[in-house]
């Protein structure tokens, strides 16, 4: 069973590629952003609390993130492989995840790190803002989300590189091309149990 993470800045294509990956490799897709948006749409107290952070482009506190994630894992991941999208986003979250998965005997196999230039990220997210309905898709908040990614999430690249689990994927190509590269990385892992360091 495969246990994957897709990692990258806002707008790098994590959600888009996850949809294809889950279809091809029959995995469960767990996106913390999607879980939070569902909670916000339900209008619960928790959803209102989460919105305070998302609407400012800030990270939701770890305590809330881990609770939502544990619930989703308990509900969906018992007998399936999975891909986490948008999680972990900090070293603290990554360490908590390692502990959680170790206790389940399901360690992370590979982290797909999608590289896209800042200019292209902004272009994509501003394009999406026209019809996404997402409260965090506007110029100021997009800028903030990218800053938060650089400050709080980028250190995960070294964290997973040192574990020998990170593969860099060039995300500056059309969706189909990026997916072909991801498929090469995943197929290599399935066949050889090896994580290629980069797929150009
Ligand atoms: P989340 O929902 O995870 O948003 P994000 O990381 O900002 O990423 P996006 O969903 O905006 O982009 P994506 O990389 O998935 O790209 P997509 O495929 O959509 O998180 C939202 C918020 O929730 C966070 O800001 C934070 O507040 C909170 N949160 C979530 N997880 C958290 C955590 N673990 N801890 C704390 N807080 C957390 O594509 C974007 C656009 O580009 C689309 O229009 C798409 O069609 C287009 N596109 C995709 N690929 C290509 C391509 N190759 N070429 C051209 N266009 C493309």
| DSSP annotation string for 50-81 | HHHHHTTTPPPPHHHHHHHHHHHHHHH-TTS-
Pocket-testing residue among 5, 6, 7, 11, ligand 1, by greatest number of atoms within 8 A of Cβ: 11
Q: Give Cβ neighbours of residue 45 (< 8 Å, ≥ 6 apart).
A: none
Percentage helix, strand, coil, to 5, in the chain?
60, 15, 30
Q: Ligand 1 pocket, 105 CB below 6 A?
A: no
Whether residue 124 lies in the annotated active site: no
- Among protein residues, the one with the nearest Cα to ligand 1's atom 54 is 174
Q: Provide the pLDDT confidence category of residue 104 given band limits of 50, 70 and 90.
A: confident
Grouping H, G, I as helix, E, B as strand and the rest as coil, residue 115 is strand
Nearest alpha carbon, ligand 1 atom 44: 128
Which sign, positive or negative, has the C-alpha torsion 133, 75, 111, 51?
Answer: positive
Q: Which of 145, 165, 168, 181 is catalytic?
A: 145
pLDDT over 70 percentage in the chain:
100
> Is the model's pTM score more than 0.85?
yes
């Amino acid at each position: 069973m495969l246990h994957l993470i897709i990692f990258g800045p806002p707008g790098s294509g994590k959600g888009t590629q996850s949809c294809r990956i889950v279809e091809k490799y029959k995995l469960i897709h767990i996106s913390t952003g999607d879980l939070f948006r569902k909670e916000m749409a339900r209008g619960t107290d928790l959803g209102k609390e989460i919105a305070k952070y998302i609407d400012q482009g800030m990270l939701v506190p770890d305590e809330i993130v881990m609770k939502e994630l544990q619930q989703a894992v308990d509900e969906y991941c018992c007998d399936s492989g999975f891909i986490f999208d948008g999680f972990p986003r900090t070293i603290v979250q990554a360490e908590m995840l390692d502990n959680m998965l170790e206790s389940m005997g399901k360690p992370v196999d590979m982290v797909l790190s999608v590289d896209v230039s800042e200019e292209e990220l902004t272009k994509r997210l501003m394009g999406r803002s026209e019809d996404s309905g997402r409260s965090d898709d506007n110029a100021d908040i997009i800028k903030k989300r990218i800053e938060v990614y650089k400050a709080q999430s980028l250190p995960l690249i070294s964290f997973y590189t040192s574990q020998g689990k990170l593969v860099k994927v060039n995300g500056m190509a059309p969706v189909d091309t990026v997916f072909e590269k991801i498929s090469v990385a995943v197929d290599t892992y399935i066949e050889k149990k090896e994580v290629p360091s980069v797929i150009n």
